[in-house]
């Protein structure tokens, strides 16, 4: 489990190139670094639920991204907060 304040990177993975899938991680965040805002709890993995497969419980987080890391347009003070499951995140050393 990642603590609040932990720097993380969204995995640069493209499972949609390997076959049919349901992905809850925005493509524009893959490979980007952010900071864990808070842990939201454990929930059934929607990537499995979409195909009526048994779904393991996964940790879900609010992760904050600074706009320059994602887009070039920004207004001072803007942030992007996205809900991401732990299996899509990796610790930044």
Q: What is the pTM of this model?
A: 0.84
Widest CA span of the chain, in angstroms?
43
The domain over range 7-91 is classified in CATH as 2.30.30.50 = yes
Is the Cβ–Cβ distance between 61 and 86 less than 8 Å? Answer: yes
Question: For residues 48 and 19, is the Cβ–Cβ distance under 8 A?
Answer: no
Measured between alpha carbons, how far is 27 from 70 in angstroms, rounded to an integer? 11
Residues 4-40: tens digit of each pLDDT: 999 999 999 877 776 776 778 888 899 999 999 999 9
Write out the two tokens for 42. Answer: 């454990």
What are the pLDDT digits (tens) for 50-80?
A: 888 899 999 999 999 987 666 667 677 788 9
Neighbours of 89 (CB within 10 A): 20
């Amino acid at each position: 489990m990642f603590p609040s304040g932990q720097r993380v990177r969204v995995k640069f993975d493209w499972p949609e190139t390997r076959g049919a899938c349901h992905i809850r991680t925005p493509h524009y965040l893959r490979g980007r670094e952010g900071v864990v805002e808070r842990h939201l709890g454990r929930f059934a993995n929607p990537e499995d639920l979409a195909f009526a497969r048994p779904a393991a419980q996964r940790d879900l987080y609010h992760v904050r991204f600074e706009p320059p890391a994602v887009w070039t347009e920004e207004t001072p003070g803007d942030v992007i907060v996205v809900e991401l499951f732990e299996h899509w995140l990796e610790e930044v050393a």
